[in-house]
Structure 1
């Protein structure tokens, strides 16, 4: 009984930790990058670090104006946020995830897809041409990025002989970085900009082209939920990269394992922020050619992993 209660407390602690990291650290890291990376590279002061929180709170208090009577607009933000939070609870964030034994790679990929489908459905439910174009671009980006994510995670699964993320992280730590894992890590790093929707791959939300894409006619609390879910999704992808493909520090004792994870997250965010500033947005056909190369690279890594390398 004592062991059960102890395990329950650990699960509750990691549950709260993952929620805090996804929902609070996501906007905070975005604010840090805007203030200390983007603004510095632009030689300006930049907005406050807490500006993403201010924006979310302001939107939550605004009137919810509607341009579409479709019920999809009402339910999609909730579905996207719920799918993103569940994906965060499956992701190792410095320590074993709270739902580690209740979901694996397949569940995670489905949750990510649900979040994308929710965004696309909002765009398609609007009559705005900008929203429709943004939804179409969102589908295209997902079709290009999803194979890279899945193949790289399969490489880690093959090496760990398990579909559970914690086993993948432990396997990468115990077995060291094999050739296949190094290739998968490079592919994940190259795809990270597109996974979190930053330049040069912010094609779906390009403000100067399609005015925010699928979100162009959203306002108030619904837009706030989408923005909050976007910040949380960025943390999920960055944590997946940090925990499985850069597994340094997960074998440390608490709280050092958490500190190591946060340092890796900061490094990923700074790298993404620098690329976001210095690299202009690319055209759709350029993105397709780029991701063909990354998919081929990740397939090479998968072949090496199956071969035992």
Structure 2
């Protein structure tokens, strides 16, 4: 029986068990990721991480989860209340729904019932994940607009531009996978990788997907919609209490979603990695073992998110948009054309996969390099009349600056309109010019 047929025969009680497990994955993973991120970043940056709540600080996430619902809720007077309340819900629900099409494992037996470790295997499962990702960004945009405050509005506008840029890039990076797997079903894509994982068969698609998923989740160094140094907190500046917790939950759930999606598309899904896959007669690719491999690959990608946040500074907005429109999108277009053309040539003649990848990668690198060269040639010339800058990005006095001597008469007395005496500020200067200005003041 196929995966779809097994899932269609699931009884109601088994479907409810799967739904409950999927609903719990998001909050449990969020609690774990928060403490893992704080500990890992503290170690990388050689500073203490959380170490007060619980043994070694490992209960800090639980303390945060208990604290946030009981904090005071502050709603701006200028907020659009209906959309203000609805925005966090729009962010969270699509993120959890995307788990429904993720294949966590092969056929297993649960209480004597044969099933697949997946809630539903849709023929367009890949498109469902992309749709859920797009809807989540709408919640961020509406949260910034409904707050009635300038900084959240700027964060929402940045998020809208980010959605347009990186949704296109992440969608086009999946085209190569769909062309190779000949299916939009996540289960079929995993099965199609039995002869080879796509992360090395489609290296450009994999790299573009990795960069795009960081921008899609608003994570550092692409966390411009919530840049603390520029926008206070971005789109969620005016949110507090449980509504802020929902945004916090959605961010980490989206991280898990994109990493699970990358595992499914490029890392063989639940298949055992080499050389474990060579042990036995597919023993480690059957039963409950594949769940371990799936989450191990997912955690490896999640660690990449943490690593980036600990090491890279935030990009400028022009740099961020340049990467999306001038690098990722053109590279994706060229790569799709190369895949289509080379697969057609391979069907008509004897061309190996290695030759296809080698020639395609060389052409792609040349085009990206030419793009950088032409971009440098199109820059606007700098204004030569600007104040010279000696360092730090701020205009400072020149090193050989000489301070003029003060005039002999520092102040000139006079009377104000009400008859009181006042002191006229002295003119800074020296020599004959200063004396002339002082005499003119007496007149």
Shared fold (TM-score, shorter chain, > 0.5)? yes
Partner residue of 2:351?
none
Partner residue of 1:46?
49
Displacement of 1:287: 0.8
Counterpart Cα distance in 2 of 1:62 and 1:86: 28
CA offset digits 1:21-51 (Å, max 9, x no partner): 323113312321221x201011122123443
RMSD value, Cα: 2.4
Counterpart Cα distance in 2 of 1:213 and 1:302: 35
Higher relative contact order (CA 8 A, sep 6+): 1
1:1-309 correspondence to structure 2 within 5 Å: 7-8=10-11, 11-35=15-39, 37-47=40-50, 48-67=57-76, 68-94=79-105, 96-101=117-122, 104-177=125-198, 181-247=202-268, 249-250=270-271, 252-291=285-324, 292-307=326-341, 308=343
Name the CA shift for 1:99/1:53 in 2 (closer, same or farther; >3 Å).
Answer: farther
Counterpart Cα distance in 2 of 1:274 and 1:11: 37
Larger gyration radius, structure 1 or structure 2: 2
Instruction: Indicate the structure with greater helix content.
Output: 1
Counterpart Cα distance in 1 of 2:105 and 2:170: 20
For structure 2, the 5+ residue unaligned runs are 1-5, 51-56, 107-116, 273-284, 344-355, 357-443
Counterpart Cα distance in 2 of 1:7 and 1:14: 10
Name the CA shift for 1:172/1:277 in 2 (closer, same or farther; >3 Å).
Answer: same
Displacement of 1:280: 0.4
TM-score, normalised by the number of residues in structure 1: 0.89
- What number of residue pairs does the alignment pair up? 306
Name the CA shift for 1:197/1:254 in 2 (closer, same or farther; >3 Å).
Answer: farther
Check whether the contact 1:185–1:245 (CA below 8 A) recurs between aligned residues: yes
CA offset digits 1:156-214 (Å, max 9, x no partner): 12211111122122213345438762221111122232222222111111111101111
4+ aligned runs moved over 6 Å, structure 1: 3-6
Partner residue of 2:377?
none
CA offset digits 1:56-113 (Å, max 9, x no partner): 3321222322112420011222222111111122233455531223752222222211
Displacement of 1:303: 2.4
